[in-house]
Amino acid sequence: MPDTVWVSSVMSDYSIGNRQGIREKFYGGDWAPPTFQLGVAPQHVLQALFRYNRGETLERTDFPEAMYVFAENNWKRVGELSCAGPFYAVKGRLAEVLKNFDLGKGGLIEFPIYAADKTTRLPGPFYLLNFGAVKDSFVASESRKLRPRRTIDKDGYELWATYDLEDGDLALTAAAFEGADLWHERKVGTGFS
């Protein structure tokens, strides 16, 4: 049985989706305009994003149906982890690595990315990262470098934020090693394991 958990801060790195040169089309909607100035997302997309950020599994129709590249030079600089609208997408070696792990009920969902003409499909494959596991193994009383985001006495539930984590700063129960390899911790609001 493994005895180590890695915590990612990727969910708080807002530069990942910055100026990628791609835009989206959600199911039942029109293509987003070819601009770096993003508008306010529709309410159903915002609701899906709130669930996504909690680690809940989304339906395929909650994600963008497809994407298109409008600024090719920007798109060429995008790494193996990117954004599809407000959600994470993966490709290349990162996708191949993730396929080797238990991603819970979610997993990787292949989706198309098109050239600027919105009909010529780019070689991929490209995948949406659909989270699918939430665990409750965090032990706040034995962890360090925390600040409360929500407290039981005020908000009815615990939620903690972490900062500048080093090895050994977070304590988890043995339940962390059961089930999915990639998950969100119910009581930790910044990151996934």
Span 46-61, pLDDT tens digits: 999 999 988 899 999 9
Tokens of 56: 């809940």
Residue 65 or residue 166, greater confidence: 65
**What spatial distance separates the first Cα and last Cα of the chain, rounded to whole Å?**
16
Q: Which residue has the tokens 């665990």?
A: 135
Please say if the pLDDT value at position 133 is more than 60: yes
Q: What residue spans define the domains of the chain?
A: 10-132, 135-185
Q: Are 181 and 103 in contact (CB under 8 A)?
A: yes
Rounded to an integer, the average pLDDT of 166-180 is 85
Tokens of 64: 């963008």
Span 11-41, pLDDT tens digits: 777 778 789 999 999 999 999 999 998 878 8
**pLDDT given at position 119:** 97
Span 71-124, pLDDT tens digits: 999 999 999 999 999 999 999 999 999 999 999 999 999 999 999 999 999 999
Q: Are strands 113-114 and 64-69 parallel, antiparallel or unpaired?
A: parallel
Q: How confident is the model at residue 142 (pLDDT cuts 50, 70, 90)?
A: confident
Q: Are 191 and 7 in contact (CB under 8 A)?
A: yes
Give the helix, strand, coil percentages of the chain, each rounded to 5: 20, 25, 50
**Rounded Cα gap, residues 24 and 49, in angstroms:** 15
